[in-house]
Structure 1
Amino acid sequence: SSYPAFGVRYSRPCNVVAFSEAEPRLLATGLDKVRNDHCLAIWDVEQARSMAESSSLASDQSAGQPGAGSGKGDAGAEATGLLRSSSTGSSTANQAASAPKPIQQYGMSEAVLSCAWFPQMPAQLVAGMAHKWLRVYDTRSSDPPSVTISTKAVYGVQVDPFHDKRMASFTEDGIVRIWDVRKPAEAVLNIQAATRSASLETLLYSPRRSGLLATHGKDSPYIRLWDLQEGTTRHYTSTTILPRPPSGEPIDIPVLWRSRQTKPALRPLASFAWIPTNPGRATSSLMSVNRDGVIECVELQEARRTAWDPSGGLLVAGDQDIFVFPTSIMSNDASTIGAQKLGATESRNNRQAIKAKAMEELRADISVVMRERAVHGYSMNAEKNRALIRDDRQLTQVWAWLATEEQLSSMGRLVSQGVDFSYQGVLHIVQGGWLAPKRSTSTPQTTSPMLITRTETPDSSATGTAIEAKGEEAPMAPTLKPELRTIALLALGFGGRIESTMESLQASGDYERAAAWALFHGKVGRAVAALSSSKDEKHRLISTVLAGYHRDASTTNTWRELCKSLSADLKGPYLRAIFAYIASGEWSSVLAIGDLPFRDRLGVALRFLDDEEV
C-alpha cells in the first residue's frame, strides 16, 4: 500500500488528530504524556506518502531477484531459507531507515488534549496541553509558542473560521471560553454550556454562519446552539508577560445573543458534525449519530433576510424564493412624502393632490420616520436618542435601558460567576440558562419580603404612626438565584443610588413616580416625604392618608375600603399602585395595574415574588 503509517517512539494513546484545511498535507497528532518525548507532532503527509511509495517499490524489486542457491534436497532448501531471511532483514532495515519523521515536534512530556489549525494561517495551530495551557505554534520553526494562555479550558479547542484571532475551548466543568489571541490574559466571553446531568464532550463552530457555536454533552439527546453577536470594541489594556498586540489595537468583544437546542433524539447522541451547505440556503444542517449507530440529519431554521424598498415596500428572501410586500401608495405620490413629513413648504405650482388616506398612512411609514430621525442626529448615543423620541414612550424606555446597560457594563456590575450578562435582557438573566445556580447549604429566609414596623417619631401626635421599611437596603423575597436577581434589578434601574434617583424624579416634578419607587424599595416613609414635598394639594392630602396608615390598619374594613376606593378613582397609575398595595398587602394587586410601566411591574415581581411566581 502507498498510504503512509506514522509511528511513535513510545506506545501510548493518541488523543487528537487534525488536518490543516488551508494546507491539507499538514497533519497534527496529539499524544498522551510520556517521559522524555514530545507529545505534539506535525507531519507532512505528502512527503511521507512519497517515502512510502519509494520504500514499497524498493521492496518489490528486492523480492523479485532470483535466489542464489541451486542445490537439491535439504541443503538447497536450507540455503534458500537463509537467503530469504537475509533479504527480509535487509528489507526491514530499509523500511526503518525510510520511516516518516515529524517535520516539527513540541510539548516535551506534556499531554496534548486537543488541537486545531488556524484556517487563514496555514502554518499556525493551537493546542491544549498539560491540562493547563493553550499554546499557539508556528510550525515553520521550532521556536517556543508565540502565544501562551494559562487556563484549565484545554479541551475541544476550535478556531473561529470567520475570525482568525478568535478561538474557543472548554473546561472539565463544561464552561466554554472564547479567546482572542491578542488578549491572552483572560477570555473575552464565558458560557456555561454543560448541564447538571451532562458534562461537555464536543464543541464545533459553524463553517457556514459567523458566530454560531454548537456543543454536545455526554449522553445528551440534543445539541445546544449558541448565537454570538459582535458587541463593543475595546482597547487592549491588560498587562501580561506574554506577547501583546500593538498599543491601542481595538478588540471586538462578542456577546451571547441567545441559546437554543435541537429537537431531542430518541436515544443519547454519541457525536455530531456540521454539514457543508450552500450559503444561499436559509437553513444550516447538522449530522448526528446516536449510541446505536443511527445517523440523523437535523436542519436549523435561520432568520430570513429582509430589505426595505425606498418607497416603503419590504422584500424577504427565503431559501429559494423572494417575497415582495409592496406599499399601497403609488411611487409618484411617495416621491413627495419626505418633504411633507419634515414640514417643508411646497411651491404653489408644484403642489400635488395627494389623497388624505394615503398621506396619513405615509406619515407613519417607518422609512419616513427613520429619515427624519437621522436628519436630527438619531444614532447610537442613547441619551441623545431619548431626547429626540421623548414622545414615543416605548422607544424611550428601550434607549433608557440601553443607557443603563452601557453604564453598568463599563463598571463591570453585570458579571456573575465569570459570565457577563451585559445587554442580555431580564428574561435571559433571570432564567440563567447557561449559568448553573449556586447551591446553598443554608435554608433560605422565609420572612415576609415587606418588613414594615411602627416607629415612634417626635411628631407622632400630629401625624399618627410613621411607616418605615426595616433596614437601609430594600428587602428581597427568598430565592435560589440572588445574584441573578440583583443583576436583573440593576438592569431595570432598581439598584444602586436609589435616593439620588428619587431626588431626580422629585426635581423633575414626577412626585408620584418617586413615591411609588420608594414603596417598591420598601421605603414607605420616603414615599410620604416625596408626596408631601409637592406643591400640589392633592399630593399633600394623599401623603397624609399614607402616613396615617399603619401595619394593623389592613384589618380595618374602613381603611381597606378607603384604599380600594382611592386605588380605583385616582388617575395616575403610580398612586393607584401605592393604594392597591396598602389596601391588600399583596404585590399581585400592583402587577394587575395594566397602565403601570412594565419595567416597574417587573421590578416589583423580581424583588417581592418567589422563584415560582416570577
Structure 2
Amino acid sequence: METAIRWSESSTLSEQRFLIADVIGRSFKRCKINKYDGIKLQHQALSTYSKVPPFRAFDWAPHDEKLVAVGQWSGEVTILRIDDSVANIPLPPKHQRLCNAVAFGRTGLLAAGLERVRNDFCLNIWDVNQRLPSVISPGGRSPKGFVEPYRKFASSEAISSIKFYSAQPEVLVTGIKGRGIRIYDLRENTGSPSLHFQTSCVHNIAIDPLDENYFACAGVPKDTTIQIWDLRHGSPYTAASVTSGSDLSRPAEGPVLEYKEVFDITNLSSKAPVDPTGVMISTIWSLRYCKGKSGCLGALASNGELKAFETKHEYSLSMKQNDPPPHPDYGVPDKNEKSILTKRIHHVELAWNDKRNGRPEKDRIVAFDFTNLAGSNGTPCAIVLRGDRSVGIVELNGAASALAVSPLGNVVVSRNNSLNFSRSSNPEIRFLKNTIRRLGPPSEGELSKSLILVQGKSGVSEAREASDTSNTNDLGTVDRKPQSSRESHEQLLDIYKPETNLGIEEALALFTVPRRRAVEGYLFDCEKNIRVLRDDRWLQRLWTWIESK
C-alpha cells in the first residue's frame, strides 16, 4: 500500500469530505470537495498532519473525523488528531513485532492486530472514550508507558485484518493467518470467538454496511481469490475447529460466493510486491463495499485494475409456491444452496499496462473508496486516487440496454430517450418510439460495405499490436507484408472471437449472411452456390473443387 483514500460516511449533498493517507510521505490530509462538474474534481485541505511515525496500517474513526489510528512497524499503535500535531496517544505492545491491522468501532473501540509472538496476545482492544480521554481534547497530554488493553484475544496467532460491525459495534471480524476468519463478540466474557470460518482468504476484510450478514475477504499474496461469506453460516468455535480446522460436530460450509483469479497475476508483475522488511504484499490492494447499494463490492489490484461485483439474493426452489420470499436482510437462507448470486461484474478501469487500453503508470488507480452518494445516472460512484496524486470520481455503468433479435435479422434495443416526444396520437406508438429503436438488416450494398469493415477489423488490430511493439502511434508507418490466402482466411475467422469488438451494424451483417444465402438458393447446385458465395472466395473454391469431381 503506497497510499489510501477514505470517504467520510457523514458526507451530505451540501458538503463532501474525504481523507488521504500518504504512507510513503507519512502524512494525512482531510479534504473537502469544492466543485465537481462530472469530469474534474476540485478540493481543498481542511487539516493536515505531517511527520506521522512510519506506519503500515491505519483507520479513520467513524465517530470523530479528526481521529486517526496508525499501526507501526514496531507494533505500536498511535492515535493522532489531524488538527493537532501535539495530541497523540502511543499504545506500545509488550513485545515488538509488526502491526498488521487497526480498526475503529463506532462507539470508540480501537482494535489492533499484531504478528505472532509466543505467549502474548495478538489482538488488543482499547476503549478510547473511557480509558484514553486525553485524546478527545486538543493539546491533551499523552499517557506514558504501557496501557493495558480493554480486551485481549488470539494468543500466539498472527492477525491479518480487522473490521468492526456498524450495527453491532461490539462485534468484530478478524482474519487469522493459517487459521481462518473468526467473529468476536465483546459482550461475551468467554475470551473465545463466537464463530469460526475455515479459509485461507484472511486479508482485506470488508463488511457490507447495508446487509451486515455478508462480508468479503481476499486471498494470500499472489492469490487473487475473493470470497463472500454469510455470517449466519459460521461454525461455533470449539477446540476441534482449531486443531482439525473445522467443527467436527457440524459439517463445514464454504463461502456463499467465490471468485477465483479475479485479476491476472501474470499481468501484475514478475514477482509480488515486497515491503521493506521483505514481507510479500497481496496483489489485491483493497476491498470496499458500496455505502449506497447493497451487495456491491469493489476490488483494486496493484496494477490499477478496478472491478466491481454486483450480487443479489436468490430464493430456494424448495419453497412452497404460496410462501412469500424471505426478507433479504433478516430471512434465514437455505442451508443447502447459496443465498446470493452474481448479478453483474463491472470492469471499472483496466490495468495501466493493458495491451489495448493501457495508460501511463502515473495515471493508474492506487486507492479508491465508494461514496454514499449516487452518480449522475443514479448508479454507485467511487472516489479514486491516482499515481500522480490526483483525485477523481468514477461511476459504475447502469443496466445494459435490453436487446432482442428477430429471425429476419431485425434488432430491437431499448434506449433512455424520453425527451424526444412523438406527435402520434396513439399512446402505445408514442411510448414505443420513445423507449426502443429498431435496427433492420442492411441492404445489399450496405451488406458488402459492412462485411468489408468487419473483415478489416482484425487487420487493424494486428497493425495496432505491431505499432505498440515499435512504440509508435502511427499505424501507417507499420510495414505489413502481403498475406497469403490462408492468412487472409484465418484473419477473417478471427472476427468471430469473443474479444473482437463489432458494431451493431457489423454484427447484423454477419447475422444476415446465412439467411441471404438461403433466400438466394444456396443448397446443392454447385454452379448456383458459386454465384451466391460472391463474398467468400474460399467457399467458392470449395464448390468449384466439388463440381470438378
Scaled by the length of structure 1, the TM-score of the pair is 0.42
Higher relative contact order (CA 8 A, sep 6+): 2
Q: Hey, which of these two has a bigger chunk of helix by percent? A: 1
Q: Hey, which of these two has a bigger chunk of strand by percent? A: 2
Scaled by the length of structure 2, the TM-score of the pair is 0.46
Highest Rg: 1 or 2? 1
